[in-house]
Amino acid sequence: MFYHKIIHKLRKRNEGKDVPPQTYPPQAPRWSSNLHEDLKPPCSQPKESSNSFTTTALYKCTTTQSATPSFIVGDLLNVVETSHDRRMASNLPTKRQGLIPFSHVTSNKSLSIVSEAWFDIDRISAERKLLMPGVQPGTYILRPCGSADNPYSLSVRANGVKIKHFRVYFDEKAKSFYLCSSIQFPSLEEMIRYYHSILSPFPLFFSPIAESIDGEVGLIEARPRRVLPPLSFEDCFIHYDDLKLEKELGRGNFGVVYLGHILSMEVAVKKSLISENDQAFRAEAEVMHKLSHQRILRFLGFCCDTPDKRVLIITEFMANGALLDYLRTPEGHRLEYRQLISIIDQIVKGMVYLEKVGVVHRDLRAANVLVDEDGSVKIADFGLTKILDFNQTLKKDTIPVRWTALEAMRRGYQPNTKADVWSFGVVMFEVLTYGKVPFEEYDNPQLLRFLLEGGRLSSPRSYGFECDEAVYAIMRSCWDENPERRPSFMEISHEIEQFIKAKEGSYVACWEKMIDN
């Protein structure tokens, strides 16, 4: 069936009847029951206004005027404003911006497979996007090269975890583009169509063909703005030889985490320490494989052909580590109150997603939330996570008591999202107190008695930290003894948005940079 789809795509391209590319931003409902939904439409491009679009130049335009950017036929232009006879546009490769004649660009967005393939990213970011699980060989990205004479590069996924990078040359005299000087094209559009049209889709993993780009790879489709994980978990297998393990990042009772590389892409590699944990590690990987959301740590694959036969889980690397540790650093202590609220907002968006797809985390705490280089956060550590209807109880010594709902510590407890809601309230406390230990004055038996008697965490204000009454009210609602009276994550998310709106005048997800997956 997959091969038929590829043939159908290639035929449509050859006929000049391409399926319209996904325009920016793709329109989708804010929330859906789809397992692989994203909070906001993901895209690597800069945020555009509602009347802007990426298109290609129909004619050459050479000018010395600073108000008009020069471009050649086929150049990618982002049109950001429209007037009667001229358009404000920026040349994506050169970054120059100005007014251009209306007649010099196409307004038919569905004609350009060039704009469909364009990502304004560097080589390393292109490799990261092309190495995502679910990206097939033959998937490609057109990106900036950094050279004024030859402004484009083409990155293509090959077999395994190989990525091929090709310089797109421009012949100034002939006004043509090419990858190989013996075959030149008057536009980028025609060049990409050519390498589409000569590719035979059998077999999917290309055998050498004389007319392919380099005798090894050809083009099947532009890298989609959003990639769904493979349906089969086995398709996420990564060979140990393709991994390079480097320094140790952390160690626990059951596993150790390393910084690693796949090509130039930094990854985190979690390794089980003893064979008895391999099954649990694989179960964790299978849960992560099913999840796809911007606020959930991205699963990249698993490995089980290591020399010592241990199971490895490979995920994206989050440069600033665990949120708990980050909050306690000098950099973390410099975070303002509004930034702490933003972190809480990000976490609840990830939990709304888990709630919608029927996944209970069971170990939500600041230590299991990771911080990226830009300060954004993602929910991680799915070692205790179970999909609803999976009947399993936990041993007492594995229960993180300070974050665990009362009912979750009772015999016969069935996993429920409302227990995660309780934990989320404690995470709010951790964030607003810059990593203070919850209930630090109690040991576990004392804490259990305190909670059973109706005791709860005090407001961060009582410890000298900023916390509005409305925010503490949200926290308190998470700790209702009756799970049914606790709010859903969707309701909590709405309350936090309303609080930000009242505080700032409007709600803007400033943490969301429209990064695709």
**pLDDT of amino acid 66:** 56
Q: 18 and 33 in contact (C-beta within 8 Å)?
A: no
Q: Are 281 and 379 members of one domain?
A: no
Q: CA nearest 109: which of 26, 10, 230?
A: 26
In a domain, 410, yes or no: yes
Q: Are 162 and 279 members of one domain?
A: no
Q: Which domain holds residue 311?
A: 233-316
Q: CA nearest 421: which of 371, 495, 498?
A: 495
In a domain, 517, yes or no: no
Where do the H-state alpha helices sit in 376-486?
Answer: 417-432, 444-452, 469-478
Q: Are 264 and 365 members of one domain?
A: no
Q: Are 97 and 189 members of one domain?
A: yes
Q: Are 99 and 136 members of one domain?
A: yes
**pLDDT of amino acid 173:** 85
Q: Which two tokens stand for residue 313?
A: 């889980």
pTM for the model stands at 0.73
> Beta-carbon neighbour count of residue 249 at 10 Å?
17
Q: Residue-wise pLDDT tens for the chain (517 aa)?
A: 443 444 444 444 444 444 333 332 333 332 333 333 333 333 333 344 446 666 666 556 665 555 556 665 556 666 765 555 666 776 666 667 777 665 555 555 544 788 889 898 999 899 999 998 889 899 999 998 877 677 889 999 998 889 999 999 988 888 888 998 889 998 888 899 888 855 444 444 444 443 578 878 889 999 998 888 788 888 899 999 999 999 999 887 678 899 999 988 999 999 988 888 788 888 888 889 989 899 999 999 999 999 988 889 999 999 999 999 999 999 999 999 999 999 999 999 999 999 999 999 999 999 999 999 999 999 998 865 544 433 344 444 456 889 999 998 888 888 899 999 999 999 999 999 999 999 999 999 999 999 999 999 999 999 999 999 999 999 999 999 999 999 999 999 999 999 999 998 888 775 454 445 6
Q: Are 180 and 248 members of one domain?
A: no
- Dist. CA 359–CA 290, nearest whole Å: 10
Q: Are 102 and 8 members of one domain?
A: yes
Total domains present in the chain: 3
**pLDDT of amino acid 109:** 52
The bridge status of strand 163-171 relative to strand 176-180 is antiparallel
| Continuous segment of H or E residues that includes residue 284 | helix 278-289
Q: How far is CA 104 from CA 75, 86, 190, in A?
A: 11, 9, 18
Dihedral of alpha carbons 420, 424, 425, 426, sign: positive
| Continuous segment of H or E residues that includes residue 11 | helix 2-14
In a domain, 481, yes or no: yes
Q: Are 36 and 162 members of one domain?
A: yes
**pLDDT of amino acid 435:** 98
Tokens 């889980």: give the residue. Answer: 313
Q: CA nearest 503: which of 384, 336, 387, 277?
A: 336
CATH of the domain at 46: 3.30.505.10
**pLDDT of amino acid 118:** 87
Active site residues: 363
Using omega within 30 degrees of 0 as the cis cutoff, is the peptide bond preceding 203 cis?
Answer: yes
**pLDDT of amino acid 487:** 98
CATH of the domain at 391: 1.10.510.10
Q: Are 304 and 328 members of one domain?
A: no
In a domain, 7, yes or no: yes
Q: How far is CA 18 from CA 99, 142, 157, 287, 347, in A?
A: 29, 18, 21, 36, 39
513 annotated among ligand-binding-site residues: no
Q: Are 403 and 434 members of one domain?
A: yes
Q: Are 310 and 331 members of one domain?
A: no
**pLDDT of amino acid 145:** 85
Tokens 């690597």: give the residue. Answer: 44
Domain boundary among 227, 250, 281: 227
Instruction: Fill in the DSSP letter of residue 26.
Output: P
Q: Are 304 and 249 members of one domain?
A: yes
Domain boundary among 181, 212, 227: 227
